[in-house]
Amino acid sequence: MLREEEGTEMKRRILLVDDEVAVLLTLKAVLEISGFEVDTAASAREGRSKLHTHEYNMVITDMRMESEASGLEVIEAARAAAYRPAVALLTAFPAAEEDWQEMGADKMLVKPMHTRVLLEQLEKLLVSHENKLAKDAAGKPAAKKASAKAKKVAAKKTTAIKKTVAAKKAAVKETVVKKAATKKGVAKKTTARKSAAGKTVGKSKKTARK
């Protein structure tokens, strides 16, 4: 939320986007009397521009302006804003709840609407949206802490696995070396036996000649 000037009371800012000047002026007057700070835009293009250069607590946009989907463009720009404003879709053509929610709107306002009802709905939306933002902000440190803990656990597991693999490799290497040594020893014994057998045969032949 933004302050008008240092030391002044904080006002919630709303951006109204509608190509009907009469609607803009009427809503602007109603909201300003109720204590809101209000900016207006007469097209989706102007609305997107103001969303990029200012910060708002809420965006109220008509659906059909330059095109049938102009309001959707404004909603997408509002959803992309880092300051995360609440988004209300203002329309004379009511849509099914799943449709406007799928578009990214938090609320659908059907015009014309009684001033008191409009203000009540906007107030409820702002309160619920602010609570959601506060809850998300409170959850971020816990999420980061959990993520850091998970990374540590994963790192420990990785280290343990590497040690196990290294130990298995060393054991296999040692076994191979022992087998090689055994084979070498057997080969030596076999050679020695053959040599001894050869000498014995030689002696036998000499004895036979005599």
Burial 44-53 (b: 16+ CB within 10 A, else e): bebbbebbee
The per-residue pLDDT of the chain, averaged, comes to: 78
Query: Average pLDDT for residues 155-159, to the nearest whole number?
Result: 62
Q: Which domains does the chain have, with CATH numbers?
A: 13-113 (3.40.50.2300)
pLDDT tens across 177-206, in order? 666 666 666 666 666 666 665 655 555 555
pLDDT tens across 16-31, in order? 999 999 989 999 999 9
Give the sign of the dihedral formed by CA 112, CA 117, CA 120, CA 125.
negative
Q: Which of 41-45, 87-91, 137-141, 163-167 is predicted most confidently?
A: 41-45
Query: Average pLDDT for residues 81-109, to the nearest whole number?
Result: 86
CB 44 within 8 A of CB 74: yes
What is the pTM (predicted TM-score) of this model?
Answer: 0.61
Interatomic CA distance for residues 62 and 80, integer angstroms: 18
Query: Average pLDDT for residues 64-84, to the nearest whole number?
Result: 92
What is the tally of helices (H) and strands (E) in the chain? 5, 5
